[in-house]
Amino acid sequence: MRSYKHPAIEDVRPEDIFHALSDPVRLDIIRRLAAEGAASCAALDGGRPKSSMSHHFRVLRDAGLVHTRPEGVTHMNQLRRDELATRFPGLLDAVLAAIA
């Protein structure tokens, strides 16, 4: 099973977060993960091609917003909410409030 690279929270940069959130698909993924807690890639794809969604999840992981873990043949994703709140207090809450 594939393992994923996640940046250490101290290496997460605001410009990477804002870039990741600039795409409506990725913003929707963040909104849904905030509401659902954790979800598989398939549950969040919205009928989009797997290759396209792989790209979006990679951008979100590289930006430090999402943690992906293998669970059998599924990949589960969840927001790095607590880590982000410590590093950038209020940022994620402000984004989520703006898109609610």
Which secondary-structure segment (H or E) carries 31?
helix 24-36
Q: Is residue 3 part of a domain?
A: no
Instruction: Provide the pLDDT for residue 1.
Output: 57
- How confident is the model at residue 62, as a pLDDT? 97
* Domain-embedded: residue 73: yes
Does residue 6 sit within a domain? no
Question: For the chain, how far is it from start to end, CA to CA, in angstroms?
Answer: 35
Q: How many domains does the chain have?
A: 1
4 lies in a domain? no
Domain at 50, CATH number: 1.10.10.10
Q: Which of 62, 54, 45, 80 is nearest to 2 (CA)?
A: 54
Per the domain annotation, does 2 fall within a domain?
no
The string of pLDDT tens digits covering residues 49-100 is: 888 899 999 999 999 999 999 888 889 999 999 999 999 999 999 999 998 8
pLDDT-derived band at 6 (thresholds 50, 70, 90) equals: very high
pTM (2 d.p.): 0.91
Q: Which one is predicted more confidently, 43 or 23?
A: 23
Q: Is there a domain that residue 79 lies in?
A: yes
Residue 66: domain span: 13-99
